[in-house]
Structures are given as C-alpha cells and as structure tokens.
Amino acid sequence: GDSVTQTEGQVTVSESKSLIINCTYSATSIAYPNLFWYVRYPGEGLQLLLKVITAGQKGSSRGFEATYNKETTSFHLQKASVQESDSAVYYCALRDMGYKLTFGTGTSLLVDP
Amino acid sequence: EAAVTQSPRNKVTVTGGNVTLSCRQTNSHNYMYWYRQDTGHGLRLIHYSYGAGNLQIGDVPDGYKATRTTQEDFFLLLELASPSQTSLYFCASSDSQNQDTQYFGPGTRLLVL
C-alpha cells in the first residue's frame, strides 16, 4: 500500500534559523500522487499548510516551501527563518486516486526563542 | 472556513466501558472521517462516510462502530473499550469536489484504564 515516511520525530531549531523536515513517499496506484503538508498547532486540529499535485512543482505557504521531487520520491518541507509561532506538529501526506489521505508519523517542531 | 467540532475533548473510561465520540461539521461537506493518532504512527483511518446513512470501513476498524445520522453529525462508538484504544481521535470532513483538503476537528483524547 501507500506509505509516507518522516524520519524525524522531533526537531528543535533556534528562532531565525533555517528548517528542513524530511518526507519520502511511496504510492502503489499511480506514479504521481498529490502531496501535502498538514500542520497541527497545540490544541487544534490539523490544517492544510500546502499541497502540490504536479511532479517537479513547488508549493509555498506562510514562508514554508516544499518541492515535489519524483526522482527521489521526496517532498521535504523547508523554511529559511523559523519563528516561535511555527512550533507545531507537521505531517506529510499523499493522496492517490481515491478519497484517502495517507499520513506520515508527524514531526514535532520546537522553536527555541 | 470549515468548522469541525468534537466532543468530548477528553474522556476516561474503564476496560469494557461504552464510549461515544461525537463530531459535527457545519459546512455541508459530503465526506466525514474518523482517525486515530498514536505515537509512532501516522493518522490511521478508522471509518468514513460519504453521506447520511452511509458508512465505509477504513484501515483499522476493529473494535469500532460508526454512524452518520445527518450530513452534519458523525459518531464513533466503542462498545467494549480496551486499553489498546487509548488514543487521540480526530474527526475530519471534506467536500467531494475537493478531496485534497480535509478539515479537522481539535481531537478527543481517550484514555481506557
């Protein structure tokens, strides 16, 4: 079946430093699934941060970026300068042909002020 | 923006107990979902529905029932709760015309003693 791998369970970054959260994927039904980053702030539900549906394209939102790399089957999340308010749990996800989203295990980001 | 609410936000029960988790969405979305989130796992789909009276089985349905009474309301039932069902439960909804974006509730934390 489909799978999404996030290798870091927790990441700590100092405020104003750069961030990268790794995500790799595997889809069984189609070659190029839709890819997403969702974010969950403390006490809230998940919300869509950004999505990319075309291989090779980049998505961006709130200073975050992620590029759909079909060669390495990766969709890493990056930000040049994090803020304390970015502290949250970030989930990589994919959707193939149907309704279902497949999520990674999540990466908890803690930004030190 | 889509609004999804869940109740209760926290619940403690004993093994063998009967628990009902409630979810309401107010944006006339067709699809509603129940997930569980556990450490080391991504969100895992328990049940979903594409309309009132409809129920579909997800990836981890054992020990759970669900019922969609109206377009707005989706319930998750644990009739004989077990400690393995201790988890964080999320409800979500989406529109059939935009399956990429799911709107999540804030979650219900369930502890089964």
How large is the average pLDDT for residues A36-55? 94
Residues of B in contact with A103 (CB under 8 A): 42-43
Q: Which of B56, B43, B100 is nearest to A99 (CA)?
A: B100
Residues of A in contact with B88 (CB under 8 A): none
Which tens digit of pLDDT belongs to each residue from A46-105?
999 999 999 999 999 999 999 999 999 999 999 999 999 999 999 999 998 777 899 999
pLDDT for B1: 56
User: Is A54 in the B-facing interface, judged by CB distances under 8 Å?
Assistant: no
* The residue to which tokens 């644990």 are assigned: B78
Cα–Cα distances in Å, from B15 out to A56, A68, B44, B77, B82? 50, 45, 22, 14, 5
Number of residues that this document lists for chain A: 113
| Cβ atoms within 10 Å, residue B109 | 14
Cβ <8 Å between B4 and A100: no
pLDDT band of A29, cuts 50, 70, 90 = confident
Count contacts between A and B (CB, < 8 Å).
49
Which tens digit of pLDDT belongs to each residue from B19-39?
999 999 998 999 999 999 998
Phi and psi at A84, nearest 5°, equal -60, -35
Give chain A's end-to-end CA distance (angstroms, integer): 40
Cβ <8 Å between B90 and A48: no
